[in-house]
Amino acid sequence: MTRYVYDFTDGNKDLKDLLGGKGANLAEMTLMGLPVPPGFTVTTEACRAYLRTGTMPAGLLTEVEHHLRQMQNRMGKTFGDPRDPLLLSVRSGAKFSMPGMMETILDIGLNDASVVGLGQQSADERFAWDSYRRLIQMFGKTVFDVPGEAFEEELTAARSIAGVGTDPELDTAQLQDLVHAYKKVFHEHTGRAFPQAPHEQLFLAIGAVFRSWNAERAVLYRRQERIPQDLGTAVNIMAMVFGNQGTNSGTGVAFTRDPATGRRGVYGDYLRNAQGEDVVAGIRNTVPLAELAAVDPASYRQLLLIMQRLEQRYRDLCDIEFTIENGTLWMLQTRVGKRTPAAAFIIAAQLVDEGCITLDEALQRVTGEQLAQLMFPNFDTTAAPPPLTTGVPASPGAAVGAIVFDSASAVAATEPVILVRRETTPDDLPGMIAAQGILTSRGGKTSHAAVVARGMGKTCVCGVEELRVDGDSVTVAGRTLHAGDVISIDGTTGKVYPGSVAVRPSAVVRYFEGELTAHDDPLLSAMERLMIHADHQARLEVHANADTGADAARARRFGATGVGLCRTEHMFLGERRRLVERLILAEDDAARASALQALLPLQRADFEELFDAMDGLPVTVRLIDPPLHEFLPPLQELTARVARADALGVDPGHDGALLTAVRRMHEQNPMLGLRGVRLGLVIPGLFAMQVRAIAQAAAARVAAGGDPRPEIMVPLVGAVQELETVRAEAESVLASVPGAPPIRLGTMIEVPRAALTAGQIATVAEFFSFGTNDLTQMTWGFSRDDVEGAFFGRYLELGIFSISPFESIDRDGVGELVRAAVQRGRAVRPDLTVGVCGEHGGDPASVRFFHDAGLDYVSCSPFRVPIARLEAGRAAS
Ligand code: PEP
Ligand code: MG
């Protein structure tokens, strides 16, 4: 029989698949002898079985009963005992942390009888009734979908009847009335009385937590974070401890280092006389953890010691949730904590210095995505007006946008927006995803807004106490702002500015540009160390897609060791269009030759500049690819111009000839039409002109004492015969240019047929470069220009893929073609150089795939070069 329940004493931190992150870590802390309340975990497997069938898997409830009995024995208390009840918390806990996305129910086991017992045992009746009303509220919402507002209305009414401003001021009698009112709400919405039997409460709660895996917000969060949708959640059942038993009790969250800056030293928030949910929801403003030292020095010292042990055990920054019940400290959760991208680099380097991890391990603690975020711009504060106010800098970045006050408006907006809320709840997730940044008036660095924003890399300022959010306006520093007013928020400093503040490049970018040194800057020096190690470890080289000398020079500063793709058609734009027009309109060989002759010196000059910028490094020049009509005016526009001329009775002149050419060249599917190698085979002299320009430019660089390393790349090849023809022509041109260095000729692999016949093609090609943009388009049959808007949303929703295959390589399909082509190509030419130059070359997950597939290099846009370098190093270490 499958075992569905594990006691905290049975598991450990490596069982996350089965016990979820929370369950595995509770077991680990139990193993370490830390003060964890007794409890057990229902496995993710049980959840998956429940979600499949809609019923509890056979044997589960018996196992739960068994573990509950053990727990009762250990505690010397009985679950729901009317005289002295053992109460339980029931919490979700998936393999990957999904903050606030799923459900938790506290105080299970309370009912009309045990509430009295709890009051007597704790000598605090008020606390008992407060717990009971919390249970009805959480249970109603979670298990029976009773709308939260229905309870909130009663709570607000109770406060106003009592004439008090906050919940803790409600006295026992008032809470008893509230329980009565809550039970009525429960009955009205569910058609049944609030269940009094503790075991029934427990089983219903477990089912509700299972179901919360599929809550809309949880599904959305997983899609956003690329967490698989089929993992299921574990359920942790733990003896309740109470942080709301008076001022000698409390609850808090803490980090073993600052998750925003990476600074050493514990850091956290504490709330006296409260339950954990109050802190996480950011509903009440907390005090810094250090203040606990004054209130309860013994617990504070014990907590510091535990945090130290946890860091040593996990060898990383940990975050924890704890509760103090009448001076006794209890650990409710720990995990390796989320952190900002800057903190990730800083902490990884610190841990190396502390002898805790190796440099190889440090590389695994940072990601290309994090580096990408650090390359975002930030505010130029010299140009900023005085800030309106300052809040808690919860998630770094610079965001500018129009104010919206609710999630739906953020989703509907067409302009950039800032979501302004008193606090956020998991229901605000769609708006948080849509907004540029998030601003809240309540909650600290561990509030929902802060945690979720940090996870998404979204700018967030929270806990701006002087911000009065009032329906559709917000008042701050005597100014009232409305929906649509533009503000700028700085998630690094917490400052909020009126209007739109100018943004400037990130320090990381300025470092790569050579404008800043790493000296004395904790982030830059940590990053520099890790980049050096990544380069040292990497097997993949990183080249850049660059079409100009300036781009190539930047790519080189960013660490590129070559140009993997120069798209020559970009040299045919602007003023030069006229020359391309002449080429297309040429009616005989002489006219065509003259048009090509005019293009030659221009191309040559471009190449010289490029070879100069990349002196000593390979530059792969791709012969022209797109259909020529792309260089002509669009058909509709021309037709209108000619019709206008006709109507006025004037000669359309040049436009007339152009229109004829455009009509002649019109194709239904130009991306599958006359482009790439086909152009070279159809338009005499076009490729020869480009090859000559490359050879002459290289010869000129050699003559000037340079070391040019050009390579010629033929696009869109599908058959070896195409390449043979181009090669024969190219060789004769190259032989005719004196002083040119040896120039290799290779091909792009971007048509599935090329991948499948790579063995033949490699007999003629000296190198391959995968054009994964076209290869993806042609493998899936998705038009790369149209498809994303049309149906990708639906495909993502259905889970046909979890990310666009144009963004991250489709390993199973396109990836298989890549593997096959590498293997077949190298079988006939073992020294075949193989790279990739599609967009995937700068995507972290794809870089890892290309490493595994045995490629020699990836080529990506200059700004992605550092990201690809880091990922290439990570893949190899
Ligand atoms: C490709 O298809 O991946 C490629 C790099 O070429 P282009 O994007 O220019 O078609
Ligand atoms: Mg292509």
Residue 407 falls within a domain, yes or no? yes
- CATH number for the domain including 287? 3.30.470.20
761 and 850 housed in the same domain: yes
State the Cα–Cα distance between residues 705 and 20, nearest whole angstrom. 63
| Nearest atom of ligand 1 to the alpha carbon of 840 | 3
Question: In this structure, are 112 and 140 located in the same domain?
Answer: yes
Q: How far is the CA of 773 from the centre of ligand 2 (A)?
A: 6
What would the pLDDT profile of 449-458 be if each residue is shown by its tens digit? 886 786 676 8
d(CA 294, CA 299): 10
| Residues 171 and 293 placed together within one structural domain of the fold | no
SS3 336: strand
Q: What is the pLDDT of residue 477?
A: 83
What would the mean pLDDT of 720-725 be, rounded to a whole number?
A: 98
pLDDT bin (cut points 50, 70, 90) of residue 98 is confident
Q: Is residue 123 part of a domain?
A: yes
Q: For position 199, which CATH number holds?
A: 3.30.1490.20
Q: Which of 288, 311, 336 is the last residue of a domain?
A: 336
Ligand 1 binding pocket includes 503 (Cβ within 6 Å): no
Asked if residue 734 and residue 822 are part of one domain, the reply reads yes
Q: Locate tokens 């994303």: which residue?
A: 788
**End of a domain among 239, 259, 275?**
239
Q: What is the pLDDT of residues 547-556, one digit of tens each?
A: 999 999 999 9
CB-based contact 631:580 (threshold 8 Å) = yes
Please give the number of the atom of ligand 1 that sits closest to the Cα of 769: 5
Please give the Cα distance from 159 to 180 (Å, whole number). Answer: 15
> Which segment of 55-59, 74-78, 472-476, 574-578 scores lowest on mean pLDDT?
574-578
Select, from the ranges 164-178, 315-329, 493-507, the one with the highest average predicted confidence (pLDDT).
315-329
Residues 542 and 493 in one domain: no
pLDDT of residue 286: 76
In a domain? residue 51:
yes
User: Which tokens belong to 497?
Assistant: 């500015």
773 annotated to bind ligand: yes
Q: Is residue 640 domain-resident? A: no
Average pLDDT, the chain: 92
Asked if residue 350 is part of any domain, the answer here is: no
On whether both 186 and 82 belong to a single domain, the answer is: yes
Q: Which of 218, 239, 260 is the last residue of a domain?
A: 239
> Does residue 651 sit within a domain?
no
Tell me, in angstroms, the distance from the centre of ligand 1 to residue 293's CA: 60
Residues 282 and 328 occupy one common structural domain: yes
Work out the average pLDDT over 850-855.
98
The per-residue pLDDT for range 187-214, each reduced to its tens digit, is: 999 999 999 999 999 999 999 999 999 9
Q: For the purposes of burial, counting CB atoms within 10 Å of the CB of 277, is it exposed (0-12), middle (13-18) or buried (19 or more)?
A: middle
Regarding the beta carbon of 842 and ligand 1, being less than 6 Å apart is answered no
Is residue 547 in contact with ligand 1, taking CB distance under 6 Å?
A: no
Question: 626 CB under 6 A from ligand 1?
Answer: no
In this structure, are 432 and 567 located in the same domain?
A: no
Choose one of 547, 566, 748 to mutate for the ligand 1 pocket test, by most ligand atoms within 8 angstroms of C-beta: 748
Q: For 747-792, what is each residue's pLDDT tens digit?
A: 999 999 999 999 999 999 999 999 999 999 999 999 887 765 568 7
**With 60 as the cut, is the pLDDT of residue 283 above it?**
no
Please indicate whether residue 858, judged by its CB atom, sits closer than 6 Å to ligand 1.
no
Same domain, 408 and 281: no
**Residue with CA closest to ligand 1 atom 9:** 567
Beta bridge partners of 834: 768
Query: Do 694 and 778 fall into the same domain?
Result: yes
Q: Which atom of ligand 1 is nearest to the CA of 771?
A: 3
Residue 355 counted as domain residue: no
Which residues constitute the domain of residue 192?
A: 5-239
Query: Which pair of tokens denotes residue 96?
Result: 């990957």
Q: Which of 375, 368, 441 is nearest to 403 (CA)?
A: 441
Q: Answer yes or no: is the C-beta of 769 below 6 A from any ligand 1 atom.
A: no
Whose CA is closest to 378, among 502, 209, 477, 519?
502
Instruction: Give the CATH number, domain containing residue 445.
Output: 3.50.30.10
The model's pLDDT over 148-185, given as tens digits with 9 standing for 90+, comes to 999 999 999 999 999 998 887 899 999 999 999 999 99
For residue 554, the domain's CATH number is: 3.20.20.60
- Helices marked H in 468-548 — which ranges? 507-512, 522-537
Ligand 1 geometric centre to CA of 716 (Å)? 9
pLDDT in tens, 590-643: 999 999 999 999 999 999 999 999 999 999 999 999 888 788 888 888 899 999
Question: Which of 439, 481, 489 shows the shortest CA–CA distance to 464?
Answer: 439
How many domains are contained in the chain? 4
808 in any annotated domain:
yes
CB 533 within 8 A of CB 362: yes
Q: Residue 134 pLDDT > 70, yes or no? A: yes
Q: Are residues 696 and 814 in the same domain?
A: yes
Same domain, 436 and 324: no
**Cβ atoms 150, 189 nearer than 8 A:** yes
Active site residues: 448, 837
Distance of CA 864 from the midpoint of ligand 1 (Å): 16
Closest CA to 420 of 434, 443, 398, 439: 439
